A and B are shown apart, each in its own frame.
Chain A
Protein backbone atom coordinates (compact mmCIF):
# COMPACT_ATOMS: atom_id res chain seq x y z
CA UNK A 1 0.00 0.00 0.00
CA UNK A 2 2.74 2.40 1.14
CA UNK A 3 4.79 1.45 -1.91
CA UNK A 4 2.02 2.23 -4.36
CA UNK A 5 1.43 5.65 -2.72
CA UNK A 6 5.12 6.46 -3.08
CA UNK A 7 5.04 5.38 -6.69
CA UNK A 8 2.00 7.54 -7.27
CA UNK A 9 3.69 10.58 -5.66
CA UNK A 10 6.86 10.01 -7.70
CA UNK A 11 4.81 9.72 -10.89
CA UNK A 12 2.88 12.90 -10.07
CA UNK A 13 6.10 14.85 -9.41
CA UNK A 14 7.68 13.56 -12.63
CA UNK A 15 4.59 14.49 -14.64
CA UNK A 16 4.47 17.94 -13.03
CA UNK A 17 8.17 18.44 -13.79
CA UNK A 18 7.68 17.44 -17.41
CA UNK A 19 4.59 19.61 -17.77
CA UNK A 20 6.32 22.64 -16.30
CA UNK A 21 8.97 22.55 -19.02
CA UNK A 22 6.17 23.23 -21.50
CA UNK A 23 5.66 26.71 -20.05
CA UNK A 24 7.76 28.93 -22.27
CA UNK A 25 7.82 32.67 -21.78
CA UNK A 26 7.67 34.61 -25.04
CA UNK A 27 10.56 37.02 -25.02
CA UNK A 28 9.91 40.67 -25.94
CA UNK A 29 11.62 40.32 -29.32
CA UNK A 30 9.72 37.13 -30.20
CA UNK A 31 6.31 38.79 -30.49
CA UNK A 32 6.50 39.23 -34.24
CA UNK A 33 3.71 36.81 -35.14
CA UNK A 34 1.77 37.34 -31.92
CA UNK A 35 1.65 41.07 -32.65
CA UNK A 36 -0.24 40.50 -35.88
CA UNK A 37 -3.73 41.93 -35.70
CA UNK A 38 -5.28 38.64 -36.77
CA UNK A 39 -3.73 36.98 -33.71
CA UNK A 40 -6.03 38.98 -31.45
CA UNK A 41 -9.19 37.50 -29.91
CA UNK A 42 -11.12 39.91 -32.11
CA UNK A 43 -9.11 40.92 -35.17
CA UNK A 44 -11.67 43.51 -36.28
CA UNK A 45 -10.81 46.76 -34.48
CA UNK A 46 -14.34 48.19 -34.60
CA UNK A 47 -15.89 45.00 -33.28
CA UNK A 48 -13.26 44.77 -30.51
CA UNK A 49 -14.02 48.37 -29.47
CA UNK A 50 -17.76 47.64 -29.45
CA UNK A 51 -17.31 44.57 -27.28
CA UNK A 52 -14.99 46.45 -24.94
CA UNK A 53 -17.61 49.18 -24.59
CA UNK A 54 -20.34 46.67 -23.77
CA UNK A 55 -18.08 45.03 -21.18
CA UNK A 56 -17.20 48.38 -19.69
CA UNK A 57 -20.90 49.38 -19.49
CA UNK A 58 -21.88 46.15 -17.78
CA UNK A 59 -18.94 45.57 -15.49
CA UNK A 60 -17.69 49.12 -14.82
CA UNK A 61 -14.19 47.96 -15.70
CA UNK A 62 -12.16 47.54 -18.84
CA UNK A 63 -11.56 44.04 -20.23
CA UNK A 64 -8.07 42.70 -20.68
CA UNK A 65 -6.55 43.38 -24.07
CA UNK A 66 -5.37 40.75 -26.50
CA UNK A 67 -2.01 40.28 -28.17
CA UNK A 68 -3.01 41.66 -31.56
CA UNK A 69 -1.81 45.05 -32.74
CA UNK A 70 1.24 46.77 -31.21
CA UNK A 71 2.20 43.86 -29.03
CA UNK A 72 5.48 45.33 -27.88
CA UNK A 73 4.65 45.08 -24.20
CA UNK A 74 6.34 48.35 -23.39
CA UNK A 75 5.28 51.31 -21.29
Chain B
Protein backbone atom coordinates (compact mmCIF):
# COMPACT_ATOMS: atom_id res chain seq x y z
CA UNK B 1 0.00 0.00 0.00
CA UNK B 2 2.81 2.33 0.97
CA UNK B 3 4.79 1.68 -2.20
CA UNK B 4 1.72 2.35 -4.31
CA UNK B 5 1.78 5.99 -3.27
CA UNK B 6 5.54 6.29 -3.44
CA UNK B 7 5.72 6.46 -7.24
CA UNK B 8 3.26 9.35 -7.67
CA UNK B 9 4.87 11.13 -4.74
CA UNK B 10 8.31 10.84 -6.33
CA UNK B 11 6.83 12.05 -9.62
CA UNK B 12 5.42 15.07 -7.82
CA UNK B 13 8.79 15.84 -6.21
CA UNK B 14 10.61 15.42 -9.54
CA UNK B 15 8.22 17.80 -11.28
CA UNK B 16 8.43 20.42 -8.56
CA UNK B 17 12.21 20.23 -8.25
CA UNK B 18 13.71 23.42 -9.67
CA UNK B 19 15.84 22.82 -12.72
CA UNK B 20 18.94 24.54 -11.39
CA UNK B 21 22.32 23.96 -12.87
CA UNK B 22 25.30 23.63 -10.58
CA UNK B 23 27.24 26.85 -10.45
CA UNK B 24 30.89 26.62 -11.43
CA UNK B 25 33.23 27.67 -8.68
CA UNK B 26 36.90 28.28 -7.99
CA UNK B 27 38.95 25.25 -9.06
CA UNK B 28 36.52 24.21 -11.82
CA UNK B 29 37.59 24.26 -15.44
CA UNK B 30 35.92 27.02 -17.46
CA UNK B 31 33.83 25.53 -20.28
CA UNK B 32 35.18 26.20 -23.76
CA UNK B 33 32.97 28.43 -25.88
CA UNK B 34 32.76 30.02 -29.27
CA UNK B 35 30.16 32.80 -29.44
CA UNK B 36 29.50 35.48 -32.08
CA UNK B 37 30.94 38.87 -31.29
CA UNK B 38 28.52 41.63 -30.33
CA UNK B 39 30.24 43.85 -32.90
CA UNK B 40 29.76 41.31 -35.69
CA UNK B 41 33.46 40.65 -36.26
CA UNK B 42 33.58 36.85 -36.05
CA UNK B 43 33.44 34.55 -33.08
CA UNK B 44 34.99 34.91 -29.66
CA UNK B 45 36.55 31.75 -28.27
CA UNK B 46 37.92 31.24 -24.81
CA UNK B 47 40.60 28.94 -26.21
CA UNK B 48 42.20 31.78 -28.19
CA UNK B 49 43.30 33.38 -24.90
CA UNK B 50 44.94 30.26 -23.46
CA UNK B 51 48.18 31.29 -21.77
CA UNK B 52 46.70 34.58 -20.55
CA UNK B 53 44.80 35.36 -17.37
CA UNK B 54 41.22 36.00 -18.52
CA UNK B 55 38.63 38.15 -16.80
CA UNK B 56 35.26 36.92 -18.09
CA UNK B 57 32.40 39.33 -17.40
CA UNK B 58 28.70 38.58 -17.90
CA UNK B 59 26.78 41.82 -18.43
CA UNK B 60 23.55 43.28 -19.77
CA UNK B 61 22.36 46.82 -20.45
CA UNK B 62 19.35 46.41 -18.14
CA UNK B 63 21.55 45.58 -15.16
CA UNK B 64 22.63 48.71 -13.29
CA UNK B 65 25.67 47.27 -11.46
CA UNK B 66 26.92 45.74 -14.74
CA UNK B 67 26.99 49.20 -16.29
CA UNK B 68 28.78 50.60 -13.25
CA UNK B 69 31.40 47.88 -13.56
CA UNK B 70 32.20 48.45 -17.25
CA UNK B 71 34.21 51.71 -16.95
CA UNK B 72 36.11 50.15 -14.03
CA UNK B 73 36.87 47.01 -16.05
CA UNK B 74 38.01 49.15 -18.98
CA UNK B 75 40.34 51.04 -16.65
CA UNK B 76 41.61 47.77 -15.16
CA UNK B 77 42.33 46.39 -18.62
CA UNK B 78 44.92 49.10 -19.22
CA UNK B 79 46.68 48.47 -15.92
CA UNK B 80 47.93 44.98 -16.77
CA UNK B 81 50.18 43.82 -19.62
CA UNK B 82 48.23 42.99 -22.77
CA UNK B 83 50.20 39.82 -23.42
CA UNK B 84 49.32 38.44 -19.98
CA UNK B 85 45.84 39.70 -19.24
CA UNK B 86 42.65 39.68 -21.30
CA UNK B 87 39.14 40.90 -20.55
CA UNK B 88 36.31 39.09 -22.35
CA UNK B 89 32.69 40.19 -21.92
CA UNK B 90 29.53 38.23 -22.62
CA UNK B 91 26.49 40.39 -23.27
CA UNK B 92 23.13 38.86 -22.35
CA UNK B 93 20.72 41.42 -23.80
CA UNK B 94 17.92 39.92 -25.83
CA UNK B 95 18.36 42.73 -28.34
CA UNK B 96 21.93 43.63 -29.23
CA UNK B 97 21.00 47.22 -30.13
CA UNK B 98 20.34 47.99 -26.43
CA UNK B 99 23.89 46.94 -25.59
CA UNK B 100 25.29 48.84 -28.56
CA UNK B 101 23.46 51.99 -27.46
CA UNK B 102 25.24 51.82 -24.12
CA UNK B 103 28.61 51.04 -25.68
CA UNK B 104 28.35 54.00 -28.06
CA UNK B 105 28.48 56.27 -25.01
CA UNK B 106 30.88 54.06 -23.03
CA UNK B 107 33.23 52.45 -25.55
CA UNK B 108 35.24 49.42 -24.48
CA UNK B 109 38.56 48.20 -25.81
CA UNK B 110 37.98 44.53 -25.10
CA UNK B 111 35.91 41.96 -27.00
CA UNK B 112 32.30 41.29 -26.09
CA UNK B 113 30.31 38.33 -27.31
CA UNK B 114 26.51 38.36 -27.64
CA UNK B 115 24.64 35.46 -26.08
CA UNK B 116 20.95 36.51 -26.20
CA UNK B 117 19.72 32.96 -25.51
CA UNK B 118 21.86 32.74 -22.37
CA UNK B 119 23.45 29.38 -23.10
CA UNK B 120 26.84 30.29 -21.59
CA UNK B 121 25.57 31.68 -18.26
CA UNK B 122 23.60 28.44 -18.02
CA UNK B 123 26.81 26.43 -18.39
CA UNK B 124 28.61 28.57 -15.82
CA UNK B 125 25.57 28.55 -13.51
CA UNK B 126 25.54 32.33 -13.13
CA UNK B 127 23.59 33.12 -9.96
CA UNK B 128 23.46 36.88 -10.08
CA UNK B 129 24.10 39.76 -12.46
CA UNK B 130 26.81 40.77 -12.99
CA UNK B 131 29.07 37.81 -12.32
CA UNK B 132 32.67 37.69 -13.43
CA UNK B 133 35.19 34.87 -13.48
CA UNK B 134 38.94 35.15 -13.25
CA UNK B 135 40.37 32.29 -15.30
CA UNK B 136 44.02 31.31 -15.09
CA UNK B 137 46.39 30.55 -17.96
CA UNK B 138 45.34 26.89 -17.91
CA UNK B 139 41.63 27.63 -18.19
CA UNK B 140 40.78 27.02 -14.53
CA UNK B 141 38.44 29.38 -12.68
CA UNK B 142 40.38 30.94 -9.82
CA UNK B 143 38.05 33.64 -8.58
CA UNK B 144 34.31 34.34 -8.90
CA UNK B 145 33.00 37.86 -8.30
CA UNK B 146 29.24 38.25 -7.86
CA UNK B 147 27.56 41.64 -8.20
CA UNK B 148 29.47 44.90 -8.35
CA UNK B 149 29.57 47.83 -5.99
CA UNK B 150 31.94 50.69 -5.23
CA UNK B 151 35.29 49.45 -4.00
CA UNK B 152 35.03 46.03 -5.68
CA UNK B 153 37.57 47.08 -8.30
CA UNK B 154 40.46 47.03 -5.82
CA UNK B 155 39.56 43.49 -4.69
CA UNK B 156 39.44 42.29 -8.31
CA UNK B 157 42.74 44.03 -9.12
CA UNK B 158 44.33 42.30 -6.14
CA UNK B 159 43.14 38.89 -7.36
CA UNK B 160 44.46 39.55 -10.88
CA UNK B 161 47.80 40.73 -9.49
CA UNK B 162 48.13 37.64 -7.32
CA UNK B 163 47.28 35.32 -10.18
CA UNK B 164 49.69 36.98 -12.60
CA UNK B 165 52.43 36.83 -9.99
CA UNK B 166 51.71 33.26 -8.91
CA UNK B 167 51.69 31.92 -12.42
CA UNK B 168 54.85 33.77 -13.33
CA UNK B 169 56.57 31.86 -10.54
CA UNK B 170 55.24 28.62 -12.03
CA UNK B 171 53.15 27.69 -9.00
CA UNK B 172 50.18 26.45 -10.96
Contact = CB atoms under 8 A, between A and B. Distances in A.
| B and A form one assembly | yes
Interface of A: 9-10, 13-14, 16-18, 20-21, 23, 25, 27-33, 35-36, 69-75
B169 interface: no
A72 B94 contact: no
Interface of B: 5, 8-9, 11-12, 15-16, 18-20, 58, 60, 62-66, 92-94, 118, 121-122, 126-131, 146-149
Nearest to A27: B118
A21 B15 contact: yes
B9 A28 contact: no
A31 B16 CA distance: 22
A23 B16 contact: yes
Contact of B64 (A13, A30, A72): A72
Nearest to B90: A29
Contacts of B122: 27
B8 A72 contact: no
16 contacts: A13-B9, A13-B12, A14-B8, A17-B12, A17-B16, A18-B15, A20-B16, A25-B18, A27-B122, A27-B126, A29-B118, A30-B118, A72-B60, A72-B62, A72-B130, A74-B129
Contacts of A74: 63, 65, 128-130, 146-148
Contact of B149 (A10, A14, A28, A75): A75
B126 A25 contact: no
B126 A13 contact: no
